[in-house]
Homo-oligomer: A and B are copies of this chain.
Amino acid sequence: MKKIEMTEAIILAKKSAKMSWEALAEKVGLSTTFVTSACLGMNSLKKEPAEKLCEVLGLDEEVAITLQEYPNKTWDFTIPQDPLVYRLYEVVGVYGETIKEIVGEKFGDGIMSAIDFSLDIYKEENPLGDRVVITMNGKFLPYKSW
């Protein structure tokens, strides 16, 4: 079974079960974002949460095994096209240099890890229109000399 078939199987089962990603993640005991990314084939789950997820959705073991495989992370377009995803790319373009300046000032020369990393999405209710709040949290990795 390939990751792409796994994703299709999960989405179909999730629709039948009328479960949200949030409810599914709660059952599995991990964050919504991480569970969703694993189901979309961009991360791997450990054995236990993989099996729990399949149990909740009534999926067979092949799905659980495929969830544990290490994914090849690739995406469709070098510049994303869907408006929601493009806006995130635009933010990187507009604020990338700013982030570099401020991280440099606060931490020294280095980067924010995208591996030792988590990402969460909240809904902030607001009478002028609700707001999407995305928080990225990555370990600072200093450049070393040797």
* A121–chain B nearest beta-carbon distance, Å: 5
B116 touches A141 (CB 8 A): yes
* A74–chain B nearest beta-carbon distance, Å: 4
* Number of copies of chain A assembled together: 10
CB neighbors of B among A82-119 (8 A): 82-119
Q: Which residues of B contact A130 (CB under 8 A)?
A: 107, 139-140
B102 touches A80 (CB 8 A): no
A129 touches B139 (CB 8 A): yes
Q: List 12 A-B contacts (CB under 8 A).
A: A21-B105, A33-B95, A36-B98, A40-B97, A73-B81, A73-B83, A80-B93, A84-B103, A85-B96, A88-B92, A106-B123, A136-B136
